[in-house]
Structure 1
């Protein structure tokens, strides 16, 4: 396709997204508006690509951070795939940890993970860990205890293929979807530890060689809503307190090789 035709398609996509309230966060040409380690991130053929070459490449997970402002209540759609036996994710309502390293983030994340139980889960990077695996609706009460409210069939996808990941954040209620199907929901009543605003970022995971590819990322700002108040009398029938899930697959589905210490 000729450059003029590609530019016309890009303009059409921007116009269409503006009509439905979404704004494209990538211009299709470069990383304008984003901030990350230039050794790790690039734009090629209209895709944003982050690459980890192996266990010695990165001491920490590194993030491409959107500098367009903080996100509060919003709906976000991203079309993503991951090559290699590792995972990625989209951070939101997050904050930087400059004391650890540049471009290191902590906060809520939707995982893009080859292990089905983890992809689309609700999670907090460098924080409280996993909340709800793929197929669960969970809540954290005011003391931080985790409750499972309901279960459903996990959404099964191949993360090496293009899939659309959706985050809907309203107050303290967070919904994750893949290809339009809900993977996990979290209602966070833990006032001292939850976040209602923060940064948006894309994760590049250290360890096993991998690359994350993003070809579409659109944001719709929603009216800010008040967080729901916790009422134990309104817990659904069958709600049960659970231990926080742990993982046997911190990177991908294969062996984890620790980085070489220098």
Structure 2
């Protein structure tokens, strides 16, 4: 009986730890667990997270309250109107000046899946021209980002977009953030934002 109790406790603990390492970052109801930076619009509509240009037409960010180092992040996005946006990782922010690395989310041929270093070295790597076709404008797309130490790999709709090893990224720390680009007329929907922590 004691042995059975021990096995049950172990299985419950293992399941609990697994759930902590693989969880949703967006609850589909509100912005719990996130912080808004800037005056652009972030809201929930029909279980989807929406970013939309506000009257100031400036940069805006929605960052996680927690920091993440090594992870595999998957999410779905749909671009409406001009979809210039992105997913930052290992980032920090002051006002709306963000420091870190952005996996681009842009209109067709805008290098979605490439990596841009904000307030630093600018573009680090862009997808090959023939891989730009994997974006589905106006439809739901699946983006996956895997960041382990100094190596980052991205996939768009199941197709590998880039793989980069970079010492500076390896030393980076910080949160994950969704971006809305400046300029106005931008609207992007997000859903099924899940993270799997890696050691």
Instruction: Please classify the TM superposition score into its range, dividing by the shorter chain length.
Output: 0.7 to 0.9
Matching residue of 1:58: 57
Say if 2:152 is the partner of 1:174.
Answer: yes
Alpha-carbon deviation of 1:107? 1.0
Which secondary structure does the structure 2 equivalent of 1:50 belong to?
strand
Matching residue of 2:78: 81
Say if 2:104 is the partner of 1:105.
Answer: no
If each structure's helix is expressed as a fraction of its own residues, which one has the higher value?
Answer: 2
Once the two structures are superposed, residues 27-53 of structure 1 have per-residue CA deviations (whole angstroms, 9 ceiling, x without a partner) of 111001111057611111001111105
On the 8 A contact 2:53/2:187 being kept in 1, the answer is yes
TM-score, L = length of structure 1: 0.63
Count of residues paired in the alignment: 181
Matching residue of 2:124: 131
Matching residue of 1:34: 34
Gaps in structure 1 of 5+ consecutive residues: 1-14, 136-151, 224-262
- Note closer, same or farther for the CA distance 1:117–1:133 as it changes in structure 2 (3 Å cut): farther
Query: Which of these residues, 160, 178, 182, is aligned with residue 138 of structure 2?
Result: 160
TM-score, L = length of structure 2: 0.82
On the 8 A contact 2:111/2:132 being kept in 1, the answer is no
Provide the rounded CA distance (Å) in 1 between the counterparts of 2:27 and 2:44: 10
On the 8 A contact 1:166/1:178 being kept in 2, the answer is yes
If each structure's strand is expressed as a fraction of its own residues, which one has the higher value?
Answer: 2
- Counterpart mapping for 1:223-234 below 5 A: 223=199
